[in-house]
Structure 1
Amino acid sequence: MTNSIGTSADNNQNPHKKEYAKQNMWTGILFGLGIVAFIDEVVFHQLLHWHHFYDKSTTDIGLVSDGLFHAFSFIATIGASFLLADLHRRHAFWLKRWIGGILLGAGVFQLYDGIIQHKWMGLHQIRYDVNILPYDLVWNVLAAIMILIGAVFIYRTKS
């Protein structure tokens, strides 16, 4: 039985399930990474003006770094969309596994951003001139929750 988007409603009946399990997961990871980077760029960099990708130089350099970061998120999201279209073409799309990949990719990117870029490399902080601890806690705890839920989805769809 197929649903409205041409995917198997029950992936146990999908003959391509095992063959494309990794591609579903990695397509989701790339999409999640691109989407969360895009949301970060638009919300925190452009709308709220809380920081730039690289805050250790001039505003002009910060804006250039934002543009490069935005290009990265766009390429990741569009690339994942092409991979997703390929899965649909092959009738091998596995929604639950793909969503698990999205959550895993989004969470890993966000945790990398919060720990490596914010703390270890010091490229920028979430926000300046405020007590940063609540922001860091929310940012990193949400990342860990996304990773955990994504990993559970992926584990439950192991072929």
Structure 2
Amino acid sequence: MAAEHNPTAKSNHPASSARNLWSGVLFGIGFAAFIDETIFHQLLRWHHFYDKSTTDIGLISDGLFHAFSWFATIGGLFIFADLRRRNALCFKRWWGGKLLGAGGFQLYDGTIQHKLMRIHQIRYVENVFIYDLIWNAIAAVMIIIGLSLVIRTNRKQQPEKAVPHEQ
């Protein structure tokens, strides 16, 4: 089906604009948490969500963290599906939200959970500084790119072409 511009699309409506952003943010948080859990907690086994107790408590905390990541991801996808159904999806704004959510989650994890609360570290090695630097630098890059996409979609005068979908 060819993509056609729908002049009645609600992509410039403030509520749709906010829903595009929040759908992306939720999906980004869930996606980043899922990647963190899968790679660093399970495959590499560098840490658990909560490392200040036994391994069993660490595994339970990982399970709760994993459930949280899926709730955020699914919540974001429900809003995404509704936006598509209403022909109100602004994909650039959604991606901006996704990068803001993922970067914000990662920066929160790297600063608050790792350094302030000290509930776990990225990796337990002699010099964790390089790991922290890379972790937080990647988060900052995601946030900057996400902000630039959101700002560009705020300034856009014309409604964006809706993403086509089959009915």
Fold in common (TM above 0.5): yes
Among candidates 18, 39, 46, match of residue 12 of structure 2:
18
TM-score (norm 1): 0.91
Deviations 1:10-47 (A, max 9, x none): x9x56312221110011000000000000000000000
Equivalent residues of 2:9, 2:87 under 8 A apart: no
What corresponds to 1:32 in structure 2? 28
Deviations 1:106-142 (CA, angstroms, capped at 9, x unpaired): 0000000000000000010000024101100000000
Aligned residues: 153
2:110 matched residue in structure 1: 114
How do 1:1-150 and structure 2 match up within 5 A?
Answer: 3=3, 8=5, 13=7, 15-19=9-13, 20-150=16-146
CA distance in 2, matches of 1:42, 1:125: 16
Identity across aligned pairs (percent)?
A: 61
Cα deviations by residue, 1:69-119 (Å, 9 ceiling, x for unpaired):
000001110111111100011000110000000000000000000000000
Q: Which runs of 4+ in 1 moved over 2 A?
A: none
Where does structure 1 lack aligned partners over 5 or more consecutive residues? none
Ranges in structure 2 where 5+ consecutive residues have no aligned partner = 157-167
* Bigger RCO (CA 8 Å, 6+ sep): 2
Give the root-mean-square deviation of aligned CA atoms.
1.7
Q: What is the match of residue 165 of structure 2?
A: none
Mapped partners of 2:112, 2:81: distance in 1: 33
Distance (whole Å) between structure 2 residues aligned to residue 125 and residue 14 of structure 1: 50
